[in-house]
Amino acid sequence: MRKALKRCAVSLGLAAAAASATVGAGTAQAAPPHTVFQIPATALATSGLVVPGPYFANVVAAPTNRPGLTAFSAPAPRSICSSSAAGSLVRISYLNVTTGQSGAVMVKPCPYYLNPTPVVATANTGAGQVVATIQVTGSAAYPNAGQPSLPGVATFAAR
């Protein structure tokens, strides 16, 4: 929680950064992740003992070996992947304020959850300052997974 609050260098105006989907081809990660300043999306996770708790969907954005392509992921801890939020998906809608490129990707936070959605999705964000919204949604098999939820916002400098 403290780490999430430390990374809250995002203004409220970034919340309006939702856009249409354009996804580039996937490539391997070539460099360490971008520094992403974010207020993570917050969702509800219930354990097997019916104990509710928060799930913070933190986004990781990493450059690839092709300039302008960004690999997005939102890995969840084991405690979330063994809760009711395991079947949730994370939608990342982005807008490059430098170039105007926009789009959205969907990733699954739990790698072992049986869903065709990728764990890492590569998008053509372009180089420059990128703002994004983060949303936890349910999957086709579990539409209520991680619900109710609150959206989050993020920003990073893409290479």
Region 42-51: mean pLDDT is 91
Cα-Cα end-to-end distance for the chain: 28
Sheet holding 60-63, edge to edge: 60-63, 69-73, 120-124
What share of the chain has pLDDT > 70, as a percent?
81
pLDDT, tens digit, 9 for 90 and up, residues 108-118: 999 998 899 99
Using DSSP's 3-state secondary structure scheme, residue 154 falls into: strand
Please state the pTM of the whole predicted model: 0.79
Burial track 101-115 (b if 16+ CB lie within 10 A, e otherwise):
bbbbbbbbbbeebeb
What integer pLDDT is reported at residue 30 of this predicted model?
Answer: 55
- DSSP annotation of 22 reads -
Residue 16 makes CB contacts below 8 A (sequence gap 6+) with: none
Q: How confident is the model at residue 9 (pLDDT cuts 50, 70, 90)?
A: very low
Structural domain containing residue 49:
2-158
Lowest mean pLDDT segment, chosen from 18-27, 76-85, 149-158: 18-27
Distance CA 20, CA 8 (A): 25
What integer pLDDT is reported at residue 50 of this predicted model?
Answer: 85
- Closest to 105 (Cα-Cα) out of 63, 76, 71, 75: 71
- At 141, the amino acid letter reads A
What integer pLDDT is reported at residue 29 of this predicted model?
Answer: 45
Region 18-25: mean pLDDT is 32
Helix residue ranges, H only, the chain: 2-6, 78-81
The tally of domains found in the chain comes to 1
R_g (Cα) of the chain, nearest Å: 15
Q: How confident is the model at residue 51 (pLDDT cuts 50, 70, 90)?
A: confident
The mean predicted confidence, pLDDT, of the chain is 84
Region 127-145: mean pLDDT is 95
